[in-house]
């Protein structure tokens, strides 16, 4: 196992939040080698591509990628292949990072920051397992063409393809069942099997795989109902497994239960525990460079990196405990600030976590 970490801050607030995570890792004095490269809009400006070959090569040979965020409105008019988002999609696909773990955990100190009532969210601890390299995100064919069937023959139409291979569903199912085994042993598979063939296929495979995990209680929910239940009674959920598109939407929704998307880390893994670790939030160009962004999601992503790619559970828990401690001490960036707490900037939050380690 290599000890190389590719550090890819990307655009917007990426630079400043990743900087704090790197400082936290340095403070732990681990045997890691960090190498930085450009990605996203910044890489497009410098090299004409959001995922330049040297960045992709660095990511491929690294055990882990610590990723900030990509995107800025100024790139929205570029052809799709040059948009910053293609960098993260390209990394996921090229590294085969099919398993996306997005924990939504409410820190007790933040129960009153959520837009939901404290009694609805206190104690919340959900893990969303999102399939990340298939589904309509990557399915072909896709494009724009002249319709040759349906109600609008002769009209121009846009089209994408939702598809999942059996092995693809099986491998994410195993990840989700095994995660559930280590938690409350409840797995909810989310689909749209009342309408979509892909979803019925997904559901049948989930049921088949469940035979290997008799200790885990498997349930199924349609995506529309799941979106509703997630705000009605979020604590009913333990592990949620779902496809790429539904997982994208549900994980944003779940993040807000915890008060701020600025708190949520994520891990994207392949079969060799090579992983990409990034905050669940975006590049927030509106607050970039102002020392306002919350670095905790990125710092917590670094903890996930130590846990999943480097097998260092102790250091991971050290970081997580330090984050709990700074919240306990009352330090808050603007996104989680409430009267009576201590408002700090991005770098001061980094200082506080390092002091708490
Ligand atoms: C996410 C993001 C990405 C996605 C975008 C930036 C391509 O929204 O990581 O959830 O849709 O997967
Ligand atoms: Mn998303």
Q: Is residue 43 a known part of a binding site?
A: no
Q: What is the pLDDT of residues 155-173, one digit of tens each?
A: 999 999 999 999 999 999 9
**Minimal-distance CA residue to ligand 1 atom 11:** 248
Q: What is the DSSP string of 108-160?
A: GGGTTTSSS-HHHHTT-EEEEEEE-S-GGGT-SS-EEEE--SSTTTTSEEEE-
Choice among 45, 160, 252, 351 that is catalytic: 252
* CA gap 210, 280 in Å, rounded: 29
Residue 264, domain CATH: 3.40.718.10
* pLDDT greater than 90 at residue 256: no
Q: What is the pLDDT of residues 293-304, one digit of tens each?
A: 999 999 999 999
Reply yes or no on whether 137 is catalytic.
Answer: yes
Q: What is the overall mean pLDDT for the chain?
A: 96
The better pLDDT of the pair 115, 242 is held by 242
Is the domain of 103 the same as that of 240? Answer: yes
Domain boundary among 241, 269, 297: 269
Reply yes or no on whether 75 is catalytic.
Answer: no
Which of 217, 268, 307, 270 lies closest to 102 in space, CA to CA? 268
Reply yes or no on whether 155 is catalytic.
Answer: no
Range with the poorest average pLDDT among 82-86, 113-117, 138-142, 271-275: 113-117
Range with the poorest average pLDDT among 23-37, 112-126, 226-240: 112-126
* pLDDT greater than 90 at residue 286: yes
Under 8 Å between Cβ of 68 and 10: yes
Give 88's DSSP letter.
H
* CA gap 296, 301 in Å, rounded: 8
Is the domain of 117 the same as that of 256? Answer: yes
Per-residue model confidence (pLDDT) at position 258: 87
Per-residue model confidence (pLDDT) at position 112: 84
Which of 114, 112, 164 lies closest to 138 in space, CA to CA? 164
Q: Is residue 194 a known part of a binding site?
A: no
Under 8 Å between Cβ of 280 and 260: no
Range with the poorest average pLDDT among 221-225, 252-256, 271-275, 289-293: 252-256
Parent domain of 193 = 99-269
Helix (H) or strand (E) holding 34: strand 33-36
**Minimal-distance CA residue to ligand 1 atom 9:** 280
Q: What is the pLDDT of residues 128-148, one digit of tens each?
A: 999 999 999 999 999 999 999
Is the domain of 120 the same as that of 244? Answer: yes
Per-residue model confidence (pLDDT) at position 184: 98
The number of distinct structural domains making up the chain is 2
Is the domain of 136 the same as that of 179? Answer: yes
Per-residue model confidence (pLDDT) at position 183: 97
Choice among 117, 159, 224, 338 that is catalytic: 224
Domain boundary among 269, 291, 309: 269
Q: Residue 32's pLDDT band (boundaries 50, 70, 90)? A: very high
**Minimal-distance CA residue to ligand 1 atom 8:** 248
Choice among 72, 192, 277, 335 that is catalytic: 192
Reply yes or no on whether 215 is catalytic.
Answer: no
Residue ranges lining ligand 1, Cβ < 6 Å = 85, 88-89, 248
* pLDDT greater than 80 at residue 209: yes
Range with the poorest average pLDDT among 181-190, 257-266, 296-305: 257-266
Per-residue model confidence (pLDDT) at position 260: 82
Average pLDDT of span 190-197: 98
Q: Is residue 286 a known part of a binding site?
A: yes
Mutate to test the pocket of ligand 1, among 68, 89, 135, 279 (most ligand atoms within 8 A of CB): 89
* pLDDT greater than 80 at residue 123: yes
Is the domain of 301 the same as that of 235? Answer: no
Average pLDDT of span 55-81: 96
Helix (H) or strand (E) holding 38: none
Please, how many CA atoms are within 13 Å of residue 324, restricted to the half-sphere of its CB? 11
Is the domain of 200 the same as that of 216? Answer: yes
* pLDDT greater than 80 at residue 219: yes
Is the domain of 84 the same as that of 179? Answer: no
Cα of 200 from ligand 2 centre, angstroms:
24
Domain boundary among 269, 289, 319: 269
Is the domain of 261 the same as that of 234? Answer: yes
ipTM over cut 0.90: yes
* pLDDT greater than 80 at residue 1: no
**Percent of the chain surpassing pLDDT 70:** 100
Q: Is residue 294 a known part of a binding site?
A: yes
Per-residue model confidence (pLDDT) at position 218: 98
User: CA-based angle 163:165:171, to the nearest 5?
Assistant: 125
- 4 forms beta bridges with 33
Per-residue model confidence (pLDDT) at position 28: 98
For residue 45, whether the previous peptide bond is cis, meaning omega lies within 30 degrees of 0, is no
Which of 26, 133, 9 lies closest to 67 in space, CA to CA? 9
**Minimal-distance CA residue to ligand 1 atom 12:** 248
The better pLDDT of the pair 113, 184 is held by 184
* pLDDT greater than 90 at residue 111: no
Ligand 1: which atom is nearest the Cα of residue 252? 10
CA 60 to chain centre: 19
CA distances (Å), origin 22, targets 14, 138, 265: 12, 32, 15
Cα of 343 from ligand 1 centre, angstroms:
29
Is the domain of 205 the same as that of 193? Answer: yes
* pLDDT greater than 90 at residue 205: yes
* CA gap 132, 110 in Å, rounded: 29
Under 8 Å between Cβ of 191 and 203: yes
Range with the poorest average pLDDT among 198-202, 225-229, 248-252: 248-252
* CA gap 180, 56 in Å, rounded: 33
Is the domain of 295 the same as that of 161? Answer: no
Average pLDDT of span 82-92: 96
Per-residue model confidence (pLDDT) at position 171: 98
Is the domain of 84 the same as that of 109? Answer: no
Name the pTM for this structure.
0.95
Is the domain of 213 the same as that of 291? Answer: no
Per-residue model confidence (pLDDT) at position 65: 98
Q: Residue 61's pLDDT band (boundaries 50, 70, 90)? A: very high
Ligand showing the shortest atom-to-Cα distance for residue 137: 1
């Amino acid at each position: 196992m290599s000890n190389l970490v590719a550090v890819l801050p990307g655009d917007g607030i990426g630079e400043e939040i990743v900087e704090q995570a790197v400082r936290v890792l340095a403070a732990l004095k681990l045997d890691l080698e960090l190498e930085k490269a450009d990605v996203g809009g910044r890489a497009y400006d410098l090299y004409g591509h959001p995922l330049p070959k040297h960045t992709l090569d660095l990511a491929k040979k690294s055990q882990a990628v610590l990723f900030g965020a990509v995107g800025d409105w100024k790139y929205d008019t570029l052809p799709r292949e040059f948009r910053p988002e293609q960098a993260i999609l390209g990394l996921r696909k090229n590294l085969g990072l099919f398993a996306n773990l997005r924990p939504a955990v409410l820190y007790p100190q933040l129960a009153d920051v959520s837009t939901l009532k404290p009694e609805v969210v206190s104690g919340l601890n959900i893990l969303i397992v999102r399939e990340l390299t298939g589904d309509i995100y990557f399915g072909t064919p896709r494009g724009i063409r002249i319709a040759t069937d349906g109600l609008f023959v002769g009209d121009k139409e846009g089209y994408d393809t939702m598809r999942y291979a059996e092995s693809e569903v099986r491998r994410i199912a195993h990840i989700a069942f095994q995660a559930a085994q280590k938690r409350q042993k409840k797995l909810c598979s989310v689909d749209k099997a009342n309408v979509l063939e892909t979803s019925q296929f997904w559901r049948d495979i989930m049921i088949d795989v469940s035979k290997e995990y008799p200790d885990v209680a498997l349930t199924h929910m349609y995506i529309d109902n799941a979106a509703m239940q997630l705000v009605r009674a979020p604590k009913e959920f333990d592990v949620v497994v779902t496809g790429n598109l539904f997982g994208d939407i549900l994980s944003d929704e779940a993040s807000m239960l915890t008060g701020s998307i600025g708190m949520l880390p994520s891990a994207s893994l392949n079969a060799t525990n090579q992983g990409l670790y990034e905050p669940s939030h975006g590049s927030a160009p509106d607050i970039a460079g102002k020392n306002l962004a919350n670095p905790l999601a990125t710092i917590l992503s670094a903890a996930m990196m130590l846990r999943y790619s480097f097998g260092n559970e102790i250091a991971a828990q050290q970081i997580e405990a330090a984050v709990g401690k700074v919240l306990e001490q009352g330090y808050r960036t603007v996104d989680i600030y409430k009267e009576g707490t201590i408002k700090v900037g991005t770098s001061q939050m980094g200082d506080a976590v390092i002091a708490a380690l």
